[in-house]
Amino acid sequence: MAKVQEINASTSRDRVEVRVRDLLDRMSLEEKIGQLNQVEASADNVLDLLGDDIRAGEVGSIINQVDRDTVLELQRLAREESRLGIPLLVGRDVIHGFKTVVPLPIGQAASWNPQLVEACARLASEEASTVGVNWTFAPMIDVCRDPRWGRIAECLGEDPVLTSVLGAAMVRGFQGASLDDPSSLAACAKHFAGYGASESGRDYNTTNLPENELRNVHLPPFRAAVEAGVASLMTSFSDIDGVPATANSFLLRDVLREEWRYDGLVVSDWDAIQQLCVHGLTETRDEAAYQAASAGVDMDMVAGAYLQHLAGLVASGRIGLETVDRMVANVLRLKFRLGLFDARPVLTDEPARMTSRSLAKEAALQSCVLLKNEGRALPLDPACLDHLAVIGPLANEPAEQLGTWVFDGDPQRSVTPLSAIESLAADAGMAVSHARAMPTTRSLDETAFADAEAVARKADVVVVFLGEEAILSGEAHCRADIDLPGAQVSLVKRLKAIGKPVIAVIQAGRPLTLTSVIDDLDAILFAWHPGSLGGAAIADLLFGRACPSGKLPVSFPKMVGQIPIYYGHKNTGRPPTPDSIVHIDDIASGAAQTSLGMTAFHLDAGYEPLFRFGFGLSYTEFAYSELSLSAVRITPSETLTIAVNVTNLGDVEGDEVVQLYLRDRFGSVTRPVRELKAFQRLTLAPGETREVRFSLTVEDLMFYKRDQTRGAEAGTFDVWIGGDSAADRKAEFTLTQDSPAMA
Ligand code: BGC
């Protein structure tokens, strides 16, 4: 059966190649260059603006038009009124939902649930394809270890393996079983590569990434996306080792095409070809077009540089016709794969509203992370409460809870926390009073605090909705100070002083430094921007109708000066330990320089984050026991099975994310102190014990070595399994020989 499928796939690939070749043979140079040109199409009079260009074959793709009739008409012009009838790629940033919004990608990552993430991408593509969009610019799989960067909201966290698994799941979700299914979108893995390492977390900034770190940390998710069949890749705005990604032939040719054998489309980021001049790489736009085309960028997103300059570059012999043909073939191949030449219909019906709402709610439930729960402040028991205070600027904000990148999200579909709490409370006969306290999260105005205090005084428990509005994260929305903005810290202190339990629900697009409020709060539920059904999910979690199960996909620093702080760091020659560190307040007067521990820590912050990667509390507790390995010595061709028993010790059902970490003790390059290698989410009934098994092959032990080839090196590995990156069930095994080097 697998053989038959393989043969079918390869014959359909061959058929596509024949059609691409046939079309190329009939195209003029101008028509070819037109296919490499993506234009902005959002204007109301876009038909007047672009009609003639489309008829002339000068447009290969449009971006940002989502009016169904307009898209259909633009497609009709391309199909019926251009000489060769080549249809358009219709692109849109469908990042975390279309009309129905699911949690931010960083929130989805907190679910550690690839099936759920895949289903969310599928829903987004089913909704977006009904307006004629056939290409999304997602998933964003930049590994990011800097929460100042606004785009951390859009990524899948700090870890290469978690990002690889969830990014590939998104690709499968967007692209469906087949790209030519009318409800599938072509996915675009972005931003290739290194964008997440923008210096000081400032967007578009330069990066400093040695090749070994690039290969071991930042490139694996892209490789996983390529292996999952991603249809396109977008270049990064940033430069790397002095060469902007959009002109980087090492990335685009050597790695992507030669090492990984990628045959999809590469598109520049917005205007990035023209920006090669701004970077100071090229003096003129035609040189920018030359560098991008010769490095391997197939399509120019809105700069118009290919349209203007490629013909001249071909005429002068700087760009060969075979290069242009290769670029055009990558565009046409995608159009054939999408079925655009074969009258792919534009569906009219979105998925049933009930289905999309229940998926959006489930995703929000699984993405919320319970960070603190002192004295079991949560869940709230409505039977024991007469009056609940709901306070804060984000309790009832249908648009803000959707987060960044929601051009098409419909706030009318939102259920806010306040409305969901009110309806649960009404059923339970509990009173709810609401005070907004602040006009925005950034406001410094404390005049409404007195009203909030009055509301809090009347209540048994205070739930305060804090965080960041959507505008404070996302592209170009970076922050140098990532504390709760505005007067929120002061609000927390005032509420705490009243003496009632204070529970915070925080909605934000990034990890925040919560050091200044953590001791004032009895419980903290971190909800990211949870999307359309976020309020319903939050209310269910607060009242114990659902059990929190999200785990952090990124470390939360205590203070901004610790950044970058991530679990998979190197050991250094002087690793810190709890007894080697000294706090600034404890330095004896006149202490000698060498009395301060001499290890890698900060005098004012130690070396641990506030909340570590993989961490998240539940309303129950899980115990790990009987860690066992199928062997303690393996050869490169053997599979190692690692098993552990997980028990739900509590009296409620709960989900646990079982995480497996490895350490390769010695390597030809220094290796991280821990690396996530595998994980499984499972649901356990109260008292239930289940055995969880993981299989590791030599692939899981490979890394890019000192000579930048990939392989596993013989030696001893530590393995830990548990519920977060500090898992302490430990075993070890030995790989007896080096593996052969792999591509
Ligand atoms: C962003 C991309 C996005 C593109 C198109 C750029 O500014 O960096 O991620 O896909 O715009 O909207």
pLDDT of residue 1: 54
Best mutation site among 40, 232, 270 for ligand 1 pocket (most ligand atoms within 8 Å of CB): 270
Can you spell out the DSSP letters for 192-221?
ETTGGG-GGG-TT--B---HHHIIIIISHH
Angle at 387 between CA 386 and CA 392, to 5 degrees: 160
Cα of 403 from ligand 1 centre, angstroms: 16
pLDDT of residue 5: 64
Count helices and strands (H / E) in the chain: 20, 26
Amino acid sitting at position 515:
T
- The residue with tokens 């309806």 is 423
Cα of 92 from ligand 1 centre, angstroms: 9
Count of alpha carbons within 13 angstroms of residue 143, beta-carbon side: 24
CA dihedral 684, 689, 690, 692 (to 10 degrees): 100
Single out the catalytic residue among 93, 146, 239, 269.
269
Cα of 270 from ligand 1 centre, angstroms: 6
Contact 61, 88 (CB under 8 A): yes
CB neighbourhood size of 499 (10 A): 9
Rounded distance between C-alpha atoms, residue 290 and residue 284, angstroms: 10
Contact 307, 45 (CB under 8 A): no
Rounded distance between C-alpha atoms, residue 104 and residue 101, angstroms: 8
Please give the share of the chain, as a percent, with pLDDT higher than 70. 99
Contact 543, 380 (CB under 8 A): yes
Question: Given strand 715-722, what is the order of strands in its sheet?
Answer: 633-634, 729-735, 715-722, 654-664, 675-684
Amino acid sitting at position 107:
G
Average pLDDT in the 717-730 region? 98
Looking from the CA of residue 237, the nearest atom of ligand 1 is 8
Nearest CA to ligand 1 atom 8: 269
pLDDT of residue 351: 85
Contact 717, 701 (CB under 8 A): yes
Looking from the CA of residue 191, the nearest atom of ligand 1 is 9
**Residue 483, token pair as written in the block:** 């504390």
Average pLDDT in the 493-517 region? 98
Cα of 269 from ligand 1 centre, angstroms: 6
Rounded distance between C-alpha atoms, residue 85 and residue 75, angstroms: 9
CB neighbourhood size of 737 (10 A): 13
Can you spell out the DSSP letters for 422-441?
HHHHHHHT-EEEEE--SSST
Cα of 291 from ligand 1 centre, angstroms: 21
**Strand, coil or helix: 11:** helix
Q: pLDDT tens digits, residue range 560-583? A: 999 999 999 999 999 999 999 999
pLDDT above 90 for 597? no
Cα of 711 from ligand 1 centre, angstroms: 35
Q: Pick the closest to residue 34 from 12, 3, 66, 61 (CA basis).
A: 61
* pLDDT-based confidence at residue 81 (cuts at 50, 70, 90): very high
Nearest CA to ligand 1 atom 7: 270
Contact 160, 238 (CB under 8 A): no
Average pLDDT in the 205-231 region? 98
For the chain, state the CA radius of gyration. Answer: 27
pLDDT above 90 for 86? yes
Rounded distance between C-alpha atoms, residue 585 and residue 596, angstroms: 12
Cα of 63 from ligand 1 centre, angstroms: 10
Rounded distance between C-alpha atoms, residue 175 and residue 185, angstroms: 5
Q: pLDDT tens digits, residue range 286-312? A: 999 999 999 999 999 999 999 999 999
Q: Pick the closest to residue 123 from 100, 104, 93 (CA basis).
A: 100
**Residue 701, token pair as written in the block:** 């032990």
pLDDT of residue 520: 98
Q: Pick the closest to residue 60 from 44, 80, 82, 43 (CA basis).
A: 82
Rounded distance between C-alpha atoms, residue 171 and residue 165, angstroms: 10
Cα of 149 from ligand 1 centre, angstroms: 15
Alpha carbon distances (Å) from 4 to 8, 9, 10: 6, 9, 10
pLDDT of residue 352: 84
Contact 650, 656 (CB under 8 A): no
* pLDDT-based confidence at residue 353 (cuts at 50, 70, 90): confident
* Region for 271 from its dihedrals, namely left if φ exceeds 0, alpha if ψ lies in -120 to 50, beta otherwise: left
Q: What is the mean pLDDT of the chain?
A: 97
Q: Pick the closest to residue 438 from 412, 467, 462 (CA basis).
A: 467
Strands of 349-421 (E only): list them.
Answer: 369-373, 387-391
Which residues are registered as beta bridge partners of 623?
Answer: 647
Question: For the chain, first and last CA: distance in Å?
Answer: 28
Q: pLDDT tens digits, residue range 322-343? A: 999 999 999 999 999 999 999 8
Q: pLDDT tens digits, residue range 428-445? A: 999 999 999 999 999 999
pLDDT of residue 3: 60
* Region for 402 from its dihedrals, namely left if φ exceeds 0, alpha if ψ lies in -120 to 50, beta otherwise: alpha
Cis status of the peptide bond prior to 182, with omega within 30 of 0: no
Best mutation site among 235, 268, 269 for ligand 1 pocket (most ligand atoms within 8 Å of CB): 269
Average pLDDT in the 386-397 region? 98
**Residue 358, token pair as written in the block:** 């229940």
Worst-scoring range by mean pLDDT, 111-115, 347-351, 633-637? Answer: 347-351
pLDDT of residue 13: 87
Strands 461-467, 387-391: pairing kind:
parallel
pLDDT above 70 for 7? no
Cα of 655 from ligand 1 centre, angstroms: 35
* Region for 544 from its dihedrals, namely left if φ exceeds 0, alpha if ψ lies in -120 to 50, beta otherwise: left
pLDDT above 60 for 378? yes
Cα of 236 from ligand 1 centre, angstroms: 9
**Residue 443, token pair as written in the block:** 């406001």
CA dihedral 192, 198, 203, 206 (to 10 degrees): -90
Cα of 190 from ligand 1 centre, angstroms: 9
pLDDT of residue 349: 86
Contact 658, 692 (CB under 8 A): yes
The percent helix, strand, coil of the chain (3-state, each to 5) is 35, 20, 45
Which residues are CB-contacts of 532 (< 8 A; sequence separation ≥ 6)?
97, 100, 101, 102, 357, 360, 401, 402, 409, 410, 413, 414, 415
Q: pLDDT tens digits, residue range 159-201? A: 999 999 999 999 999 999 999 999 999 999 999 999 999 999 9
Average pLDDT in the 304-321 region? 98
Which residues are CB-contacts of 46 (< 8 A; sequence separation ≥ 6)?
62, 65, 70, 74
Pocket, ligand 1, Cβ cutoff 6 A: 93, 137, 190, 269-270, 475
Rounded distance between C-alpha atoms, residue 588 and residue 286, angstroms: 64
Residue 29's H or E segment, with its range, is helix 29-35
230 phi and psi, to 5 degrees? -60, 135
Best mutation site among 39, 93, 407 for ligand 1 pocket (most ligand atoms within 8 Å of CB): 93
Rounded distance between C-alpha atoms, residue 244 and residue 152, angstroms: 21
Rounded distance between C-alpha atoms, residue 486 and residue 440, angstroms: 8
Active-site annotation holds for 180: no
pLDDT above 90 for 741? no
